[in-house]
Amino acid sequence: NSVVGVGQSPEAIRNREGQLSPFEWYAEMRREAPVHFDEQREMWDVFRYEDVKHVLKDHDAFTANRAFGADESAGSGDDMPMLQTMITTDPPEHDRLRGFVNDRFQPGAVREYQPQVEEMTKNLLNDLPDEGTFDFVDEFSIPLPVIVIAELLGIPDDRRDQFREWSNALVARPEDDTSEEIQRVQREQERAQKEMGRYFATLLAERQGGNGDDLITLAANTEALNRGERIGFCMLLLLAGNITTTNLLTNAIWAFEAHGVTDAVRTGEVDRQLAIEEVLRYRSPIQSLKRIATKDVELNNQQVQAGDVVTLWLGAANRDPEIFDAPETFRPERHPNRHIAFGTGVHFCLGAHLARMEADIALNYLLEHFERLDADLSELQPLNFLHGLESLPCEVRRTA
Ligand code: HEM
């Protein structure tokens, strides 16, 4: 998907084991070939913390614009206009596309949503069985972020189900790797994207001149954006904010259970917020980002040329022994924790504070709601979209 930027995985981690645990490969590459050109994918891979950070901060030499160097006449037909959003735009244009909404995602503004997020979390928990087994991914970690974004954007209640269907279609994965199946999923994604784009366009038009405090009203009335950019903004929030947060929630339970700290987090013996930061470091939902070199540059003794694509392995940077003590160990009390799971530089995640608050509330209420929660880690299937799991069966008993 172009907005969240997943492409073909490197050969070394294309299988199930590699998807679940790319960390040995990262360690080897950090040591042996920290800036490496992959002939097969025809792009660079960057593994060390300082190098990844350097590229993300140097937005002059490394553009976030995916179309950089491409034929400008290609793909710009009116039938499928490319939506321009902040995440693929460099400064100074970037500042215009982000500036109008930046305040709304600062810690103080995000805290105002706290009661609503708590309410939504409780409702979701009340729909779960009091005792027995359910799939944590399908029943909790997928729906919660969608409901939260729908609330922020101001999607009317009677369209929430439709909204959820679109959100799911946008991140649907092929069931197998036959070309029919891949095409089917692509067609579904295009359909959902079109329908949703039209729906956002209608809401944006309706809310022009309105005074609601939802994000669609904000986008509809800012002079900073044109019509296409307003739609692009709404789509971006959805794509950038959902599956990432889903994976943070899933990976938290996965890591807590794998390391036997679920009860310690429940009782407060382990600080929940520090534990969430450690999940972000240890199993970063976004393992890699891409940039394109705008000029010939040297990077850790390698000659990168203008037009070269560079993959930045956040997941490898977050386990760099130069920065982290015992980087391969999950230490829920780790502090300080300078992980870059939310990126760095001008594109630092707009939703970082929201995601942190959401995870904090979700895990707090979840563990309070269930006095017993046992995840079945015996047959893990990686989600082939970012770093997470396809499902996570949990056996639970509600707190008496
Ligand atoms: C950017 C990660 C949640 C909205 C980013 C970037 C990362 C990231 C790594 C940098 C992309 C780049 O440099 O190319 C995450 C993770 C999340 C999360 C791990 C959850 C755990 C959210 C949420 C929202 C959101 C909840 C929205 C409500 C955005 C936006 C950008 C962004 C709009 C682009 C910022 C810009 O280009 O200036 N995110 N994100 N993210 N994220 Fe998040």
**How would DSSP label each residue in 136-174?**
HIIIIITHHHHHHHHHHHT--GGGHHHHHHHHHHHT---
- Is ligand 1 within 6 A of the CB of residue 101? no
For helices 352-369 and 143-153, what crossing angle results, to 10°?
Answer: 130
Distance 397 CA to ligand 1 centre (A): 34
Tally helices (H) and strands (E) across the chain: 16, 10
Note the pLDDT tens digit of each residue in 134-152.
999 999 999 999 999 999 9
User: Residue 172 — very low, low, confident or very high, per pLDDT cuts 50/70/90?
Assistant: confident
Return the biggest CA–CA distance within the chain: 64
Q: Please, is 218 exposed, middle or buried when counting C-beta atoms within 10 Å of its C-beta (0-12, 13-18, 19+)?
A: buried
- Is ligand 1 within 6 A of the CB of residue 342? yes
Looking from the CA of residue 5, the nearest atom of ligand 1 is 14
Residue nearest ligand 1's atom 2 by CA: 342
**Ligand 1 site-directed mutation target among 56, 350, 354, most atoms within 8 Å of CB:** 350
User: Residue 5 — very low, low, confident or very high, per pLDDT cuts 50/70/90?
Assistant: very low
Would you state the torsion angle of the CA atoms of residues 262, 265, 269, 274, taken in this order, to the nearest 10 degrees?
130
Q: Please, is 221 exposed, middle or buried when counting C-beta atoms within 10 Å of its C-beta (0-12, 13-18, 19+)?
A: middle
Note the pLDDT tens digit of each residue in 215-225.
999 999 999 99
Mean pLDDT over 76-96 rounds to: 76
Mean pLDDT over 202-212 rounds to: 97
Helix, strand, coil distribution of the chain in percent, nearest 5: 50, 10, 40
For residues 52 and 117, give the distance between their C-alpha atoms in angstroms, rounded to a whole number: 33
Q: What would the two tokens of residue 240 be?
A: 């950038």
Mean pLDDT over 68-93 rounds to: 68
Domain edges within the chain:
11-398
Nearest Cα neighbor of 250 from 69, 111, 394 is 394
Nearest Cα neighbor of 143 from 120, 170, 111, 173 is 120
Distance 336 CA to ligand 1 centre (A): 22
- Is ligand 1 within 6 A of the CB of residue 355? yes
Note the pLDDT tens digit of each residue in 343-397.
999 999 999 999 999 999 999 999 999 999 999 999 999 987 789 999 999 999 9
CATH of range 11-398; options 3.30.1490.100, 1.10.3210.10, 1.10.630.10, 3.90.1150.10:
1.10.630.10
Collapse the DSSP code of 374 into the 3-class scheme (helix H, G, I; strand E, B; otherwise coil) and give the result: strand
Collapse the DSSP code of 179 into the 3-class scheme (helix H, G, I; strand E, B; otherwise coil) and give the result: helix
Nearest Cα neighbor of 93 from 212, 261, 232 is 232
Chain center to CA of 258: 22
- Is ligand 1 within 6 A of the CB of residue 241? yes
Contact of 235 with 86, CB cutoff 8 Å: no
- Is ligand 1 within 6 A of the CB of residue 343? yes
Q: What would the two tokens of residue 88 be?
A: 């693929």
Contact residues for 108 (Cβ-Cβ < 8 A; gap 6+): none
- Is ligand 1 within 6 A of the CB of residue 110? no
Is pLDDT above 80 for 4? no
**Ligand 1 site-directed mutation target among 155, 244, 348, most atoms within 8 Å of CB:** 244
Q: ipTM higher than 0.90?
A: yes
Mean pLDDT over 97-125 rounds to: 97
User: Residue 20 — very low, low, confident or very high, per pLDDT cuts 50/70/90?
Assistant: very high
Mean residue pLDDT across the chain: 92
- Is ligand 1 within 6 A of the CB of residue 19? no
